[in-house]
C-alpha cells in the first residue's frame, strides 16, 4: 500500500516561517506559529523540521541560496569583465531592502549571533564569497576594500542602525565602486597602529 502523497511542500513551510519571522521576529518563531501561518498541523511542520533550530537553519540557508543565486545571475549577465565578483556584488545592492526583508534579516541576525550552528552557513557563505572575489580579481586589494565597504553599508541597513536616503545610497555605492579599480599602497602593519 502506497502512503498518501504529502500536500505540504518545504518551500511553503519556509514561506510561512519567513512571514512569522517578519511579523513576530525570528526569536519568537515557534513550530506552532509557523504551522498556523501555513494553515497546517504542527505535525506537518515536524515532518520536515524536527526542531525550531532546524527550521531556522533551513530559513537561513534558503535566504543565503536566494541571494547567492541572484548575485551569480548578475555575474553571468556581466560576462567576462575584470573584477566580476565584486562588480556583481555591488550591482546586487542597487536593489534596496524592503521593510519585510529588513525585519526578517534583523530577526535572523539576532538568532544567528547567539547560535554557532546557525552561524556556520553564514560563515561558509562569506568564506566562499571572499575566495571567489580574490580568484576573480586581477589586483584584489581594491575589490576586497569595496567588498568590506558594501558589507558594512548593508549591515547598517539590515540591523536597522541607519537608513540612507535613496540618492545618497546610490552615491555611496558609486563611490564604493570606485574602490574596485584602486591599488592601495602596501603599508606595514605597525603603520596602521601608530598614532599620528
- In the chain, where the domains are located: 59-183
Gap between the terminal Cα atoms of the chain: 80
Return the pLDDT at 189. Answer: 61
Q: Where are the alpha helices (DSSP H) in 114-163?
A: 116-135, 141-158
Q: Which whole-number Å values give the CA distances from 128 to 15, 42, 54, 140, 192, in the listed order?
A: 26, 35, 23, 15, 27
Return the pLDDT at 140. Answer: 94
pTM for the predicted model, two decimal places: 0.82
Residue 121 main-chain phi, psi, to 5 deg: -60, -35
Contact between residue 89 and residue 7 where contact means Cβ atoms under 8 Å apart: no
| Spans of the chain below 50 pLDDT | 1-6
Residue 27 burial (CB count, 10 A): 12
**Distance from C-alpha of 162 to C-alpha of 153, rounded to nearest angstrom:** 9
Taking the CA of residue 175 as centre, how many other CA atoms within 13 Å lie in the half-sphere pointing to its CB? 8
Residue 55 main-chain phi, psi, to 5 deg: -65, -45
If we measure between CA atoms, which residue out of 180, 177, 22 comes closest to residue 94? 177
DSSP-derived letter for residue 48 is: H
Return the pLDDT at 84. Answer: 95
Amino acid at each position: 500500500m502506497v502512503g498518501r502523497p504529502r500536500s505540504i511542500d518545504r518551500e511553503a513551510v519556509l514561506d510561512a516561517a519567513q512571514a512569522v519571522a517578519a511579523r513576530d521576529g525570528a526569536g519568537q518563531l515557534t513550530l506552532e506559529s509557523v504551522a498556523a501561518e501555513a494553515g497546517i498541523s504542527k505535525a506537518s511542520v515536524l515532518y520536515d523540521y524536527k526542531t525550531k533550530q532546524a527550521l531556522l537553519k533551513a530559513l537561513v540557508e534558503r535566504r543565503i541560496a536566494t541571494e547567492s543565486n541572484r548575485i551569480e545571475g548578475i555575474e553571468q549577465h556581466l560576462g567576462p569583465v575584470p573584477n566580476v565578483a565584486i562588480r556583481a556584488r555591488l550591482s546586487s545592492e542597487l536593489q534596496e531592502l524592503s521593510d519585510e526583508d529588513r525585519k526578517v534579516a534583523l530577526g535572523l541576525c539576532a538568532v544567528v549571533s547567539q547560535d554557532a550552528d546557525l552561524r556556520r552557513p553564514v560563515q561558509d557563505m562569506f568564506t566562499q564569497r571572499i575566495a571567489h572575489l580574490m580568484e576573480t580579481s586581477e589586483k584584489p586589494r581594491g575589490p576586497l576594500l569595496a567588498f568590506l565597504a558594501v558589507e558594512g553599508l548593508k549591515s547598517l541597513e539590515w540591523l536597522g542602525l541607519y537608513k540612507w536616503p535613496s540618492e545618497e545610497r546610490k552615491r555611496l555605492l558609486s563611490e564604493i565602486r570606485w574602490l574596485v579599480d584602486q591599488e592601495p599602497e602596501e603599508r606595514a602593519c605597525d603603520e596602521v597602529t601608530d598614532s599620528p
